[in-house]
């Protein structure tokens, strides 16, 4: 192939496709190279997208995008083998906040947007490496083909082999990521409405800690789509040595927990997936987010805000793709010299956007979330406490005596220390 | 398939859309490393049970069923895994993601 593109994008996910759509709409010649059959066929996530960024960039999404349900209920649970404690928040104001979606569908939709703007998407082509000449990235290599572009955007996702092979990112360390496993289970719209007590277009987002991961740091999730639910868990790989059953069995034990199993009775499994997810935010970023001839967006850049209960990847991916495109458009208009110093514009514009503002605010979140007690001692304690407290048998149950009886190995000092960590870092 | 029981991982993987390449995209570089490896995190953390215990402490690998997550290469303490994405268009095709 001898055509030269203004920009080449590695990976047709939310970040890459947003960059592609924006660049193409300004008349740049854009190529997106994707390893899957079509955009979305290798993407996996938990289940929900925060919509604020779409209101700005794709305002037509409300009518067009494959939205499943608008999240109306947020649930947080601590689960043990025989008990569960849940906080449920419900609101009437659900429009434009967050929605559940199938990421494969949603990404495919973004792909159509990019193509409609004029971007070229080549699927079934895994990029093997970047073509680097005299210290500058000048293109990509896929099999025997080399394709050249003025600038290359790595939007390859968290398993960033291309950046690693080019020496632009170190090998991922276990503590930087979690492994997610997920099941998509068909129940039918009416069954979901009844069992989760929601109307047709309203959904539930549910985070579950404790037994769901066998008390190992990580968490489980359930989201309601229109006709399916998605159910899964994430294990922080820095704590991977603590799992006592394989993750593919763990997710089944969670699904078969009596409180969960009754919600998915007579369901039908439609898909089983697994994926890595960044859990350390900017601490998992490559040493540089841009350099001579390239820049990095989305998960590959570590742009995922993991705040324990709130997990946001797609909105950060989309916004970083938008920022990358805007930086490139400006440089293109000024003559198109994409060296590290001109691309620092991307870094500066990121700082101005919510991407860096929010990720910097949560840069130490992992310090709180890495505390094993959160997933173990506290999950057990809160359930033991309430179980004892409500177990009326004619002996006095005052709060403090019940607390002392059920706190297990937790000390008041631990609790104060952990509370401080949570409050200061999250 | 009834969901009132643990569904074997092989059966769960069968619910996916696949186009499996005959040529493995992942390879254990040095089986001797696995024999010496005490923790063998791949056995517990691969979501697709691609890694199974062999005889004499070895680890057997099958790329069929691989969901291409990359966990094995991150957790392998001996860097004993050569990891590539499948060739063009092959591998798992997620319909939901």
pLDDT tens across the length of chain A (426 residues): 457 999 999 999 999 999 999 999 999 999 999 999 999 999 999 999 999 999 999 999 999 999 999 999 999 999 999 999 999 999 888 777 999 999 999 999 999 999 999 999 999 999 999 999 999 999 999 999 999 999 999 999 999 999 999 999 999 999 999 999 999 999 999 999 999 999 999 999 999 999 999 999 999 999 999 999 999 999 999 999 999 999 999 999 999 999 999 999 999 999 999 999 999 999 999 999 999 999 999 999 999 999 988 999 999 999 999 999 999 999 999 998 999 999 999 999 999 999 999 999 999 999 999 999 999 999 999 999 999 999 999 988 899 999 999 999 999 999 999 999 999 999
- Beta strands A268-278 and A177-186 are antiparallel
- Rounded to the nearest angstrom, the minimum Cα separation between B68 and chain A is 7
- A47 contacts in B (CB within 8 Å)? none
- B39 contacts in A (CB within 8 Å)? 241
- B74 contacts in A (CB within 8 Å)? 171-174, 177, 237, 276
Q: Please judge whether A161 and B89 are an interchain contact, meaning their C-beta atoms are less than 8 angstroms apart.
A: no
CATH code matching the domain that covers A4-66+102-170+286-352, chosen among 3.40.50.10800, 2.40.50.420, 3.50.50.60, 1.20.1250.20: 3.50.50.60
CATH code matching the domain that covers A176-278, chosen among 3.30.9.90, 3.50.50.60, 3.40.47.10, 3.40.50.1820: 3.30.9.90
- A252 contacts in B (CB within 8 Å)? 6-7
Compute the distance between CA of residue A9 and CA of residue A27 in angstroms, rounded to an integer: 16
Give me the residue spans of the domains in chain B.
9-93
- Rounded to the nearest angstrom, the minimum Cα separation between A276 and chain B is 6
Q: What is the pLDDT of residue B49?
A: 98
* Opening angle at CA A185, ends A44 and B25, nearest 5: 40
Q: Please judge whether B44 and A159 are an interchain contact, meaning their C-beta atoms are less than 8 angstroms apart.
A: no
* SS3 label, residue A9: strand
- B84 contacts in A (CB within 8 Å)? 126, 161
Q: What is the pLDDT of residue A3?
A: 76
Q: What is the pLDDT of residue A2?
A: 58
- A246 contacts in B (CB within 8 Å)? 43-46, 49
Select from B1, B70, B86 the Cβ nearest to the Cβ of A276: B70
Which helix (H) or strand (E) segment is A177 a member of?
A: strand A177-186
C-alpha pair distances (Å), A35 with each of A196, A210, A259, B66, B87? 37, 36, 39, 15, 8
pTM value > 0.95: yes
C-alpha pair distances (Å), A371 with each of A86, A142, A208, A238, A368? 21, 42, 16, 11, 6
- B69 contacts in A (CB within 8 Å)? 159, 179-180, 274-276
- Rounded to the nearest angstrom, the minimum Cα separation between B12 and chain A is 6
CATH code matching the domain that covers B9-93, chosen among 3.30.70.20, 3.40.50.1370, 3.40.50.9100, 1.25.40.10: 3.30.70.20
pLDDT, one tens digit per residue, over B43-74 is: 999 999 999 999 999 999 999 999 999 999 99
A191 in contact with B at a CB cutoff of 8 Å? no
Strands (E), A281-322: 290-291, 294-296, 305-306, 311-312
Compute the distance between CA of residue A408 and CA of residue A273 in angstroms, rounded to an integer: 36
| DSSP calls for B7-52 | PPHHHHHTTSEEE--SS-SEEES-HHHHHH-SS-HHHHH-TT--EE
Q: Please judge whether B70 and A159 are an interchain contact, meaning their C-beta atoms are less than 8 angstroms apart.
A: yes
Could you tell me if the ipTM is greater than 0.85? yes
Select from B16, B49, B86 the Cβ nearest to the Cβ of A248: B49
Confidence bin at B1 (pLDDT 50/70/90): low
Q: Please judge whether B44 and A240 are an interchain contact, meaning their C-beta atoms are less than 8 angstroms apart.
A: yes
Nearest by Cα to A337 from A83, A96, A150, A93: A150
Sign for the CA dihedral angle at A78, A79, A85, A89 comes to: positive
Size of the A and B interface in Cβ pairs below 8 Å: 154
């Amino acid at each position: 192939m001898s055509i030269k593109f203004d920009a080449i994008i590695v990976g047709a996910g939310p970040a890459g496709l947003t960059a592609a759509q924006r660049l193409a709409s300004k008349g740049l010649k854009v190529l997106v190279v994707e390893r899957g059959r079509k955009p979305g066929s290798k993407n996996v996530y938990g289940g929900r997208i925060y919509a604020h960024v779409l209101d700005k960039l794709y305002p037509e999404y409300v009518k067009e995008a494959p939205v499943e349900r608008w999240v109306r209920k947020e649930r947080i649970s601590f689960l043990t083998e025989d008990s569960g404690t849940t906080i449920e928040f419900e609101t009437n104001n659900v429009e434009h906040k967050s929605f559940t979606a199938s990421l494969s569908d949603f990404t495919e939709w973004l792909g159509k947007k990019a193509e409609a703007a004029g971007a070229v998407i080549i699927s079934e082509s895994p990029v093997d490496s970047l073509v680097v000449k005299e210290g500058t990235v000048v293109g990509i290599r896929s099999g025997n083909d080399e394709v050249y572009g003025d600038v290359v955007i790595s939007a390859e996702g968290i398993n960033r082999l291309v950046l690693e092979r080019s020496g632009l990112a170190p090998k991922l360390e276990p503590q930087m990521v979690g492994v997610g496993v997920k099941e998509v289970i068909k129940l039918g719209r009416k069954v979901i409405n009844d069992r989760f007590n929601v109307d047709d277009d309203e959904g539930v987002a549910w985070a579950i800690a404790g037994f769901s991961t066998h008390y190992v740091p990580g968490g489980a999730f359930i989201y309601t789509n229109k006709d399916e639910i998605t159910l899964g868990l994430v294990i922080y790989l820095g704590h991977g040595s603590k799992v006592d059953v394989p993750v593919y069995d763990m997710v089944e034990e969670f699904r078969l927990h009596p409180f969960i199993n009754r919600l998915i009775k007579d369901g039908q499994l439609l898909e089983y997936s697994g994926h890595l997810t960044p859990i350390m935010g900017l601490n998992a970023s490559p040493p540089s987010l841009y350099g001579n001839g390239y820049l990095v967006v989305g998960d590959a850049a570590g742009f995922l805000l993991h705040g324990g209960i709130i997990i946001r990847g797609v909105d950060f991916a989309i916004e970083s793709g938008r920022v990358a495109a805007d930086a490139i458009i400006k440089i293109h208009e000024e003559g198109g010299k994409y060296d590290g110093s001109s691309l620092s514009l991307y870094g500066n514009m990121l700082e101005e956007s919510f991407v860096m503002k929010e990720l910097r605010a949560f840069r130490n979140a992992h310090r709180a979330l890495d505390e094993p007690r959160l997933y173990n001692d506290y999950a057990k304690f809160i359930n033991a406490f309430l179980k004892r407290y409500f177990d009326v048998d004619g002996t006095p149950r005052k709060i403090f005596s019940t607390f002392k009886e059920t706190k297990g190995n937790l000390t008041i000092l631990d609790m104060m220390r952990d509370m401080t960590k949570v409050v200061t870092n999250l | 398939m009834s969901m009132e029981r643990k569904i074997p991982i092989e059966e769960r993987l069968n619910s996916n859309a696949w186009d499996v390449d005959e040529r493995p995209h992942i390879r254990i570089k040095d089986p001797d490393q696995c024999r010496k490896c005490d923790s063998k995190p791949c056995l517990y953390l691969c979501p697709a049970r691609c890694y199974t215990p062999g005889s004499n402490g070895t680890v057997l690998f099958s790329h069929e069923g691989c969901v291409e997550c990359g966990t094995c290469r991150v957790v392998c303490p001996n860097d004993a895994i050569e990891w590539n994405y499948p060739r063009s268009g092959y591998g798992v095709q997620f319909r939901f993601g």
